Chains A and B, each alone.
Chain A
């Protein structure tokens, strides 16, 4: 120890002074200073770090951290209708039980021989997602859905050798920001306007965008991004037509989908998607202030596409023993032979534990559970749309569309902003919907309201009553 006085720390077994002395002697070092011989004096800190006084006992630590966390109010204490990419679904107890197990929680990057269970659990995750998506290839999770979207677009760029991506103007501002930062310098991102009547993609604008620069060399469209449901909650019923138009232009159809809706919505592959992607947070992850995200990318088993995944793909393989199987990385040398090798991206630590958890979730839910989940969400969402639309000053602009778990309300008629109304509702114990004025500049005061299977009729009625009271 630098001061020789500090107590032995429970996280540091060899902080016992006698042990340290014996170890130093064993390696012939006078002090730990010997090991830092290569660190020049000019860059030595030369003082103690200026950090808060430590809370060395566990009880003090717990009191302190819990004291800070107690300044939060959770969605268990409040009635929350916030979604917008981070969703309040029920997390089955077994999900938390499994991802809390020390074996999974503290494993890392072992080989299939040490970590067979980790490999199998992630292979099974890929396999269950594959059934949900009706695609044969699914990756080990990337960081989040934003990353999955951005990478899927880059994959399309590498496959086609083209330089443009079309995305709906209604994707979230944050997701757009991530995509633009990430796909540069490979792809230019162009927006396709929404149809103000439906909130869905404007097909004429899409046709124009696809044709737009055909004359200009290097401006062919690599990928068309479709969201289903859209960020604004509507089911993109034009999906099949959008995919057809994309294919006609030689572009790849990338469909971002909320997997929790796939018990009732046809998987994008059924209407022609080439690559599906999205976020698995709805499948068994708590909201965690945005810490529960993980991204998936899926495709058909076409080697041309498989070779462009930057992520890990775990596959099943026989072993030296008859009848036994193990797992390992598929397509180990995933090298792009195309001209644009600069787009290979990287593989790193991402969100594997959430993949395992999503696998647990899907195994618990099964086919019936996923269907019932979708049916319940759709019914309650429609009920909420009906209830809120009846409130004076509230309009549900895209009520004619199909919605699974989110919808837009416009408060413009009330003369109030979303921020004002939200603040008033917090006083009444409710988190109202997300403010989406950036995504829907054409509306006065749009909010995105999320209703899932956790919201009862009574919850929705309470929202309606309180909203009406606030707007009165």
Chain B
């Protein structure tokens, strides 16, 4: 069957008479996001309603200790209960179920639009596994004899990630990718300090198409940051790197392939140039999905690297975390790893907290354990050949998608023009914007109407009118065709009826949001409490924030 036949939107004519057969579904589909018009939870409050009941103190206990809460000194004791909403249990559930329906998870959409995010399928079986009370209800300070299973999983995951990266040791402690970059920067700082030239080495080098957290973490750690722009061919600029390095260079922090999907063919030379002046090289492997089993951080000479387990290794993105990061290092850097590490003698596993050179803690305890288990299970379900298939399929999907997208009028892929890309592409709608006045953000708002996500780029927009697509291994050819059909439809609308695009979204839960309110200290409201204060109830109806733009109504 072909759902992708030549039927445009509205192209399927109703059957002449009543009943079957109906025509194939149109492409792109006639989507509408759930729209419950759900009030704020406080508006659902009914005084006296209860959602869940905590246990009551046993009379035998009360007889002995009385009411210690009542004995708290004035000023320390809470006199009035917090003004939380009061709801029956079913109303809490219904409220949140409705909100969940107004949220577009990977489970629901062809999520190739959130480029750089590696939106892949998170297997359900892994979610089921981590609900076991033998993981969910483990306390991190339990006696080692009662946590051998989780420690073994962490040890095995470390060894697998060490093999995948080529590194000697891997810490699983950090909570996400940016935290892992932070930990790596902190280790770099400790490494140079231990060698006595911490004060001298105050510069960190990165590239404009590396993830911006590389620059941000380095700055937060006190480094001066040098960001390199691409060379004339669109590749990371080796000449600029040579001009940038010096005895002040602490490290190179670089993503490869970069967020453009371009692999730096001189990556070894980059590392050599930095090593030559005594700097370290740290590899942001946020974009590792297309190179698993193909090439490794260690093979290019890197000293440190990190993976985002919620990207490459499939743990769910969870509305923006909890996630997990993994920091891989060579033996030379290993003493500085966050403490503790997991160690084993081959039969027993323990946590080694006695690491004097360690940068210390970057997070409570030992990592986001459920995500470590998920990542472990995911790798175990695929093995070496499976991981390579993941990489090759992600790259095939991307180049297939790129060929189709570049057929759309107004779209282009600047930098390294004509070259293949690895796992994602940063496209440009510059031509379309010049032709039609429709900008990438507006295209994004219209794409929403077809049930898909859209993402432009980090700032600054070095690629003008950017759009970043990353089709991981989780999407079929038909899925990719459907996403292309959405983009093609929106681009055609931009040329034929730009105002229609400008008015989008039409099929979302809500319409264009007035952003100005959110920037004005007089009018912004981060909480319902602040909202009620700034917009007091008058005559039974709240006076709302003015839209600022009189465009509404």
Contact = CB atoms under 8 A, between A and B. Distances in A.
A120 B102 contact: yes
Contacts of A38: 262-265, 419-420, 422
A331 B524 contact: yes
A453 B291 CA distance: 49
A349 B178 contact: yes
B275 interface: no
Contacts of A366: 49-51, 84-87
B93 A52 contact: no
Interface string B48-85: 01111111111011101111110111011111011111
A289 B140 contact: yes
Nearest to B505: A113
A286 interface: yes
B11 to A, nearest CB: 24
Given A45-B296, A50-B384, A264 B78 contact: yes
Given A9-B386, A265-B72, A15 B393 contact: yes
A104 B318 contact: yes
A122 B348 CA distance: 42
Contact of B380 (A55, A130, A144, A386): A55
B77 A264 contact: yes
A356 B178 CA distance: 21
B434 interface: no
B340 to A, nearest CB: 10
Interface stretch (B22-30, B327-335, B525-533): B525-533
B345 interface: no
A13 B472 CA distance: 11
A462 B171 CA distance: 39
Interface in A323-380: 324-333, 342-354, 356, 359-360, 362-376, 378-380
Nearest to B61: A383
B97 interface: yes
B146 interface: yes
A140 interface: yes
Given A72-B138, A94-B89, A351-B322, A431 B143 contact: yes
14 contacts: A20-B393, A39-B291, A136-B530, A138-B527, A146-B364, A317-B514, A345-B220, A349-B308, A359-B41, A363-B92, A365-B51, A372-B56, A376-B57, A403-B68
Most buried by A among B176, B321, B393, B551: B321
B473 A14 contact: yes
Contacts of B133: 74, 76-77
A369 B392 CA distance: 53
Interface string B517-538: 1110100111111110100000
B149 A70 contact: yes
A441 interface: no
Interface residues of B, number: 220
Interface in A105-164: 105-118, 120-124, 126-132, 134, 136-138, 140-141, 143-147
Given A39-B294, A426-B145, A431-B143, A72 B75 contact: no
A469 to B, nearest CB: 18
Given A51-B384, A128-B84, A138-B527, A9 B389 contact: yes
Contacts of A321: 510-511, 552
A331 B517 CA distance: 9
Given A146-B364, A287-B140, A293-B363, 15 more contacts: A9-B382, A19-B476, A27-B402, A56-B383, A65-B129, A86-B140, A104-B319, A106-B108, A107-B317, A131-B83, A266-B75, A287-B138, A352-B318, A368-B86, A379-B65
A127 B137 contact: no
B114 interface: yes
The 6 A-B pairs at the shortest CB distance, nearest first, are namely A54-B383, A290-B365, A348-B178, A117-B102, A364-B51, A71-B149
Given A117-B102, A136-B526, A326-B510, A108 B320 contact: yes
Nearest to A228: B76
B176 A349 contact: yes
Interface in A22-60: 22-24, 26-29, 32, 34-40, 42-45, 48-56, 58
A314 B147 contact: no
Contact of A102 (B41, B108, B295): B108
B545 interface: yes
Contacts of B372: 291
Contacts of B533: 136, 301
